Structure 1
Amino acid sequence: MTRVADEMPPTAASLAPGRNLTAVFVNPGLPGERFWNMVTATMQAAAQDLNVSLEVVYAERNPILMKRLASAALARATPPDYLVLVNEEQAASDLLPLADGASSHVVMLLNGLTPEEQTTHGVPGSVHPSWIASVIPDNHGAGRRMASELIDAARIYPPGETRHGLALIGDTRTPASIARNAGMLNGFAEHDVVKMTRILEARWNLPDAERLTHHYLQWAERSGLHNTLIWAANDAMAEGAVRAVEASGMQPGKDVLIAGLNWSPEGIAMVMDKRMVMSDGGHFMAGAWAMVMLRDHADDTHWAPRTVHFPMSPIHQGNVDIYGPLLIQPDWETVDFTRFRLQTMEDDYAFDPMAVLEQMKDSPAPLERQD
């Protein structure tokens, strides 16, 4: 495919409708990391449905390596039709000018550009003709909802008593984390019965969260603080908090209430056994949504560059019996991701992770599918 910016607008990709597309996803994580495994798995299932040959390369949480991998893909003799990037630690924006000089189109997912970066690079289709779309989950809404559900669950504590909040955040740099943290602060600020006593950066991992929670609980005990609510920015940190609470001789879900995020099998299992109040999530489907969008871009010459914001949803005691088993052992091949394509370019995308779970719930059992 050849695109000359002066002769052919990037919205009119010279790709035969329906033909096989090539895409490279620069996964910012490490092979084997739970969340990034989930992003990749749903992306691969969607790619299969949409006739996309997907290649995944891993940046291993190294922004320099991420730039190197993306640059190498763009410099190939035959570059991929699409490059899928995550703006982890603000490393992706520097790649947009490089993509403009190649024949690849860029889809950004999960972490978009920061407001500061947008002053230079704009939005999809404005400054960089290669940048066709971003797909961003509602992290602010998820963070706020987690705080609200913790407060609702805290009615088990005596009326009128102050609840003490610990927040285990992932970082203060990535746009997704910044939005999630802001939602948490807004959610707790709406209720004067909660006092946020500590906000600690656990760097997204279980061991740091377990250690920090252990020290917090010791401090809370010395200070005479009880009725603790723990907001954890992902399920791995929530699991670390659960382990620290159990090691202290208390019962998570009763003595200490904990909320996480990711819809990970581990997190869902802890919601099922009531050690966690809830796990918000569905954002790992951003990779699948990216496959839908690039397919639509390739097949329709009237594509308009866009940023799509999509909802996240909670798995809690009210719905975990229905959806929990689907997430503990997910079979993404039961989902028909073509259903999420646009019918016309004037439509809006209806990306909803709960719609995916509904498809899985209604799909035939494996033995039935073999008939």
Structure 2
Amino acid sequence: MDRLSFSCYPLLCKPLRILKRALLPLALTLGILACATAQPLRVTLLNPDPPGDPFWDLLVSFMQASADDLGVQLKIINSEPGNRFKSLQLARQELSAVDKPDYFVTLLLNRVAPLMIEEAEKRGVKFFSVNSDLSRDERKKLGEPRERYKSWIGKMSPDDSYAGYLLGKKLIEKAREKNLTDKQHQIQIIAIAGEGGLRFPMTGSAD
């Protein structure tokens, strides 16, 4: 099977359309594998947020609907918002369990993503990452899916740099409409990056 890798432009598509296009290949792959095995495939999704987040609720509902259609056993584990170490703890518990899943799906969280991928490789569990990508330094160490870690079968990562560019462009357009300029007739924008993944959209906005 070829490496699975998808890109999408979040500000160009409606969220549901993004999820369908990005997760459909994974759903089809799992469906084919489920038909070829006697036992239903077991898939665990580690949700970085508890129920109530609009984006992740949408992703969970789509995955659950796909799992129901394809006869896949889907388990949802909810972590704590912004707590990557809690997510790592939950991932390690699930990947080392006696009834560990066949596939593990989650976000590539800053600094702990390599540890999750290494744990999945060690336990022989297929790992698929969604809505995120590695930092440049992490990519140098880990490579791309199926290169150094065979269990990391693929990823779905949005084009955050292009999204940042579109966001910056829209902010500038709105600022000009409202005449929000300084004495030199320039528009001042401050971009504040938090988690590591935000460095990519901030780079795009700077362009």
Same fold per TM (> 0.5)?
Answer: yes
Alignment of 1:212-251 (within 5 A): none
Distance 1:131 1:155, change over 3 A: same
Distance 1:155 1:170 in 2: 24
2:50 paired residue number: 30
Higher normalized contact order (CA 8 Å, seq sep 6+, divided by chain length)? 2
For the aligned residue pairs, the C-alpha RMSD in angstroms reads 2.8
The answer to whether the 8 Å contact 2:46/2:76 transfers is yes
1:147 Cα deviation from its structure 2 partner: 1.7
1:74 paired residue number: 95
Distance 1:166 1:42 in 2: 36
The answer to whether the 8 Å contact 2:84/2:110 transfers is yes
**Deviation by residue 1:218-251 (Cα, 9 ceiling, x = unmatched):** xxxxxxxxxxxxxxxxxxxxxxxxxxxxxxxxxx
1:90 to 101, 106, 111: 111
Matched, 1:149 2:170: yes
Structure 2 unpaired stretches of 5+: 1-29
2:76 paired residue number: 56
The answer to whether the 8 Å contact 1:26/1:56 transfers is yes
SS in structure 2 of the partner of residue 89 of structure 1: coil
SS in structure 2 of the partner of residue 77 of structure 1: coil
2:196 to 163, 174, 180: 174
The one-letter code matched in structure 1 to 2:79 is A
Distance 1:48 1:109 in 2: 20
Distance 1:71 1:157, change over 3 A: closer
Percent of aligned pairs with the same amino acid: 26
1:119 Cα deviation from its structure 2 partner: 2.4
Distance 1:51 1:163, change over 3 A: farther
1:17 paired residue number: 35
1:15 Cα deviation from its structure 2 partner: 4.3
The answer to whether the 8 Å contact 2:44/2:105 transfers is yes
1:164 paired residue number: 187
Moved more, 96-105 or 43-52: 43-52
Distance 1:145 1:180 in 2: 9
Distance 1:108 1:115 in 2: 16
* Higher CA-based Rg: 1
Distance 2:118 2:92 in 1: 11
Matched, 1:136 2:154: no
The answer to whether the 8 Å contact 2:107/2:129 transfers is yes
Which structure has greater strand proportion? 1
**Deviation by residue 1:137-173 (Cα, 9 ceiling, x = unmatched):** 0111111112212333445346x982534445451x3
TM-score normalised according to structure 2 size: 0.71
The one-letter code matched in structure 1 to 2:35 is P
Distance 1:100 1:155, change over 3 A: closer
The one-letter code matched in structure 1 to 2:89 is R
**Deviation by residue 1:62-84 (Cα, 9 ceiling, x = unmatched):** 22221121111111222111001
The answer to whether the 8 Å contact 1:111/1:174 transfers is no
Alignment of 1:1-12 (within 5 A): none
The answer to whether the 8 Å contact 1:79/1:103 transfers is no
TM-score normalised according to structure 1 size: 0.42
The answer to whether the 8 Å contact 2:50/2:78 transfers is yes
The one-letter code matched in structure 2 to 1:17 is C
